Homo-oligomer: A and B are copies of this chain.
Amino acid sequence: MTQDSTADWQARPRVSLRLVAQAAGVSIATASRVLNDGPDKASAETVLRVREAAERLGYRPGGAAQALRRRESRIVAVLAAALINPVMATIVASIGHALRAEGLVMALCDTHEDAAIQDDFLTEMQAQNARAFVLVGAVDSPGLTRLRAAGAPLIFVNRPDPGPAPGGAYVGIDNAAAGEALARHVLALGTQRAILLHGSLERTAGTERARGIRAAFAAVPDAELIAVEAPGLDQLTGGLQAMAQVLSLRDPPRAVLCLSDALAYGAWRGAREAGRQEGFDLYGFDNLLFNDWVAPWLSSVAVDPAAFGPAVLAQLPAPRAGSRCFLPHRLHLRPG
């Protein structure tokens, strides 16, 4: 087999409707009716024959031509802030699964929290007539501002719209309520002093979580909450460095409430390397897939990842600015 270059490949003709019609022994008009207009436009036997031929030859209605003609596409653009985070990968998997059940195709982008990457993909997918834009952790960006203003179908997942006003629907947990529930649990154990270990609070998920935790502590007389900020590196390294601050306190509280499991992983390493991992109870958010396997010391606020897909799908036909779909959360306690 000779191997074409990429350019040659793109110049190749694709399987035509004419070829499919010939193979199926029907007219082009009939083949088109079956493949483009739906199965009720021909006899069952003809439908079967045309579809078999199309499948065998690898025919697809030309995506670009079809998208252009109908201004619609099977593609839903999904943007994730950090696929390296297994919780985000799981959410994305759930969304992909739900879209697929509806015959839609997820085209995914890892934005790395970078406005330029986010905008490049938004613009490219807009040019491809993507049906909607699902942002699993958006950053504010000029492209997002433009789509918001244009009334594009936007669904923000796990982190609300980072802009000044919501430009689409939100699907995720009620982060403030989750923070409050976690803090109440810790307080109910008799813990009066705790660390709030947080990263940047510009991201609204963290802001809301911290707000809920603070509210619960403020409601208890004599309870003390010491905030320690992780430096703005990645969350693992940030958690490690923040734990060094905690360890340098004269009488550090035993309970450490981390605003994400990644921060807690970093904090645990910091405690372990100081030989003090037994001295702290760590709490996190996200319930990372690996917790049950290698982090049995961590309790974490969990949401069923499989809940995301159906919730996003429910918003898809017409996501409304400001509408919020809160998924249920629960506190996953470490064993023992």
Interface string of A271-313 (1 = CB under 8 A from B): 0100000000000000001101111100000000000000000
Interface string of A68-79 (1 = CB under 8 A from B): 100111110000
Contacts of A107-132 to chain B: CB distance below 8 A: 107-110, 112, 117, 120-121, 123-124, 126-129, 131-132
Q: Which residues of B contact A128 (CB under 8 A)?
A: 63-64, 75, 128
Counting chain B CB atoms within 10 Å of each CB, the highest count among A4, A14, A123, A127 belongs to: A127
Contact A153:B294 (CB < 8 A) given known A64-B64, A107-B108: no
Q: Does A67 make an interface contact (CB < 8 A)? A: yes
Q: Does A188 make an interface contact (CB < 8 A)? A: no
Q: Which residues of B contact A68 (CB under 8 A)?
A: 62, 64-65, 68
Q: How many residues of A are counted as interface, with CB atoms below 8 angstroms from the partner's CB atoms? A: 82
Q: Does A10 make an interface contact (CB < 8 A)? A: yes
* A151 CB contact (under 8 Å) in B2, B58, B290, B295: B2
Q: How far is the CA of A60 from the CA of B129 in the complex (A)?
A: 12
Tell whether, in the assembled complex, residue A4 and residue B109 are in contact, meaning their CB atoms are under 8 Å apart: no
Q: Does A249 make an interface contact (CB < 8 A)? A: no
* A105 CB contact (under 8 Å) in B72, B121, B150, B318: B121
Q: Does A215 make an interface contact (CB < 8 A)? A: no
Q: Does A189 make an interface contact (CB < 8 A)? A: no
Interface segment, one of A28-36, A92-100, A217-225: A92-100
Contact A269:B289 (CB < 8 A) given known A153-B9, A318-B3: no
Q: Does A83 make an interface contact (CB < 8 A)? A: yes
**Shortest distance from the beta carbon of A323 to any chain B beta carbon, whole Å:** 9
- Beta-carbon nearest neighbor of A318 in chain B: B5
* A3 CB contact (under 8 Å) in B9, B73, B290, B321: B321
Tell whether, in the assembled complex, residue A1 and residue B151 are in contact, meaning their CB atoms are under 8 Å apart: yes
Q: Which residues of B contact A7 (CB under 8 A)?
A: 72, 317
Q: Which residues of B contact A329 (CB under 8 A)?
A: none
